[in-house]
Structure 1
Amino acid sequence: MGTLQVGDKAPDFTLPDQSGQRVALSDFLGEKVVVLYFYPKDNTRGCTAEACSFRDSYESFTDAGAVVIGVSSDSVASHEKFAGRHELPFTLLSDAGRAVRKQYGAATLGGVVPGRITYVIDREGVIRHAFSSMTNIGGHIDDALAVVKQLQAAQ
C-alpha cells in the first residue's frame, strides 16, 4: 500500500499505549485534531530528538486543540521507559506487528529501517497534512503545528 495522501480518510486502528491501555484513532475524532507520527525506534538519536521536540511544543499543540500520538513497533515496556526517561506528555502506541504502519504507508527504507512520517488528521478523520523525512526532524513539528493552527482558525 502506498503512503496516504492529503484528502484521504485516515484508517481507524486500536493499539496499546505505553501503559497498556487500548487507544483508537476514533477515540479522538469529532473532538480533537490528531497529530500522528510514525518513528523508527525508541531511544535512538533522531527519534529521541523528535520526541523531545514534540514534548517541547506539546502545550502549543494542545492549546490549538490537538493531541500528539507517536507510533513505532517498540513494545509497551520500551515505550513506558522512553516516555518516562524523556518526560513525554503524549501517547506512544506499540504497533508490534507493524500493521498500522502498513495501513498508513509509513514504509521502511531499504526494507530495513521504518520510515519517519507525520500526519495531521482533522476532527472528521481526513488527512490534512503529511510530512515524510528521516532527517528534517524540526519540519515534522513545525509543519504539523502550522496546519493544526490553520485548522483551529478555520473552525
Structure 2
Amino acid sequence: MSLIGQPAPDFTLPASTGETITLSSYRGQKNVVLVFYPLDFSSVCSIQLPEYSGRQDDFTDTGTVVLGINRDSVHTHKAWAAEYGIDIPLLADMTLDTARKYGVAIDERGISGRAVFVIDRAGVVQSAHVEASPGEYTVRPEQVLATVRALR
C-alpha cells in the first residue's frame, strides 16, 4: 500500500518527553518526519536515532519535527534517550497499531520495520522509504533533509 499523496494516518501516542503527541496537531504548522525503527538499544537503531537527533537543528530550520516511533515503552525510550543523548521525541506504539496504519508492522516478530515517512504541513505523505529488512539503514538524515527542503 502506498501512502504517498494520501493524508497521513493520524495517531496519538505517549512520548519520551512526557507529553502525548497527536500527529494532526502539526497540520498547518510543521512538516513531520516519522522514523519507525525496530527496537531501542539495538545496534542499528543506536546509530540511526542519534544521527537524526544530531540533525534536529537542521530539521527545525526547515520547519520540521522528527518523531521516532517503535513498540518500546515510554520508560525504555527515556532510558535509551538518556544513554544515547537522543533529544527527539520517541513515541511508544506498544500495540503496533500506528505501525500497521503505515504498513510497517512486522507482527510475527512484534516490531515495526525501519521506515521513514515525510509528511508536509498539509498533513499529506510526500515521501516514504521502507527498508527491505529491519537491519538495513540506507536513508540517512541528510537525504531526508533534502526531501524536506524540496517541499517548499
TM over 0.5: yes
Query: Following the alignment from structure 1 to structure 2, what is the Cα–Cα distance between the partners of residues 103 and 70?
Result: 15
Amino acid paired to 1:72: N
Query: Could you tell me which amino acid in structure 2 is paired with residue 43 of structure 1?
Result: F
Equivalent pair of 1:107/1:115 in contact (CA under 8 Å): yes
Residues 1-16 of structure 1 mapped to structure 2, 5 A cutoff: 2=1, 4-16=2-14
**After superposition, what is the alpha-carbon deviation per residue over 1:122-147, rounded to whole angstroms, capped at 9, x for unaligned?**
00110001011235525142331111
Percent identity over the alignment?
35
The residue number in structure 2 matching 1:150 is 150
What CA distance in whole angstroms lies between the structure 2 residues aligned with 1:57 and 1:141?
Answer: 7
**TM-score, with normalisation over the residues of structure 2?**
0.91
Matched residue type, 2:114:
R
Distance (Å, rounded) in 2 between the aligned partners of 1:106 and 1:91 = 19
User: Secondary structure, in 3 states, of the residue corresponding to 1:15?
Assistant: strand
Q: RMSD over aligned Cα, in angstroms?
A: 1.6
Q: Is the 8 A contact 2:96 2:112 kept in 1?
A: no
Distance 1:19 1:52 in 2: 15
Number of residues paired by the alignment?
149
Runs of 5+ unmatched residues, structure 1: none
Moved over 6 A (4+): none
Contact 2:72 2:94 in 1 (8 A): yes
How far residue 85 of structure 1 moved from its aligned partner, in angstroms, is: 1.1
Alignment equivalent of 2:99, drawn from 76, 98, 101: 101
TM-score, normalised via structure 1 length: 0.89
